[in-house]
Amino acid sequence: MLVKTKEVAPSVYGITIPTPFLVGPVNVYIIEGERLTLVDTGVKTEEAKRVLEAELLELDYRFSDIELVILTHHHPDHIGLVEEFDHATIASHEKTKPWLEGDQRFFEQKNDFFRELYTAHGVDENIVALIEKSNAYYLKYTSRIGIDVTLSEGDRIEGLPGWSVIETPGHAQSQISLYRERDGVLISGDHLIAHISSNAIIEAPYKGETERPKTLLQYRDSLKKCLHVKRAFSGHGKPVEDPKALIEERLQKQIEKAKAIKNLLGEETLTSFELCKRLYPQMYTKQPGLTLSETLGHLDLLEEMNEVKAVNENSVYRYCKVD
């Protein structure tokens, strides 16, 4: 009999796949439900495909055996290889759709939105160019395919009895987690990661929305939704053995970071980009999108806590302390 050493929880198997990205390898999961399910696919490279094929074979499966693919969110390291499974049912959150379908109008509106956002937050032109270049680079590693089933909060999944969907937006607007009530197991995508804090990446409004979501505030709400989880299997790194402790630590660290940003602001009135440069003097040119998301996210949090306020002067936002 085949010994399935990759089993991380009953009927759940973890597979680790390399990516060319800074985040390192990504974890995908096989669930042996009524339908054989793959959660996330890894990135679209030859190497990732080879590794996924070989690892599946060790479980005695081929790509053609997969009947259901669930995508936790739209980032390329999670969805890149999905077109290899066009024979399977593809299920994901509604907001993964425009990314996977390559919706031109969505991408154009997104680009316009970010141009305006960056101008309003005082971001230098050369940094905007760097961000756009990096976005285009990531998009090379993804698939184009339609979604068969859209998943949202509380949904049960056909073919996967005992599992349900928890919407956990913050890291990505499309982020969902899969929860098994029987043993409190969560497949969390990038919502919970043990060794790094998930970035609450700023995104443009989606269809039917008019304003950008305040992603760090959303992320904090999504963290609080998962306090009951017993064990979480993450998109990157090791399982989260004590999700409650990790969540409480993350929530606390965000408050501490926000306060540090308020101190850095002192008595000055600064744009979020000026603050970003002070916070991340080395990193802001290397990872401009992420560092800006971090800065703006924590400014949103400080505004929510009524610790700072934003003043709009000539269409540029500047932040200062609330006395």
Q: Which residues bind Zn ion (CB under 5 A)?
A: 75, 190
Provide DSSP, 110-179.
HHHHHHHHHHHTT--HHHHHHHHHHHHHHHTT------SEE--TT-B-TT-TTEEEEE--SS-TT-EEEE
- Minimum Å gap between C-beta 236 and Zn ion is 8
Nearer to Zn ion, 26 or 261 (CB): 26
Nearer to Zn ion, 79 or 160 (CB): 79
Nearer to Zn ion, 77 or 274 (CB): 77
Burial of residue 126 (number of CB atoms within 10 Å: 0-12, 13-18, 19+): exposed
Nearer to Zn ion, 75 or 95 (CB): 75
CA atoms within 13 A on the CB side of 277: 9
Could you tell me the CA-to-CA distances from 29 to 72, 172, 311 in Å, in that order? 11, 19, 46
- Minimum Å gap between C-beta 212 and Zn ion is 18
Measured distance CA(135)–CA(270) in Å, rounded: 26
Nearer to Zn ion, 193 or 261 (CB): 193
- Minimum Å gap between C-beta 175 and Zn ion is 8
Q: List, in order, residues 6 or more apart from 168 with CB less than 8 Å away.
A: 175, 176, 177, 188, 189, 191, 222, 225, 226
- Minimum Å gap between C-beta 253 and Zn ion is 19
- Minimum Å gap between C-beta 171 and Zn ion is 6
Nearer to Zn ion, 19 or 271 (CB): 19
- Minimum Å gap between C-beta 197 and Zn ion is 13
What's the per-residue H, E or C state across 61-95? CCHHHCCEEECCCCCHHHHCCHHHHCCCEEEECHH
- Minimum Å gap between C-beta 28 and Zn ion is 13
Q: List, in order, residues 6 or more apart from 182 with CB less than 8 Å away.
A: 162
Residue nearest to Zn ion as judged by C-beta position: 75
Nearer to Zn ion, 44 or 318 (CB): 44
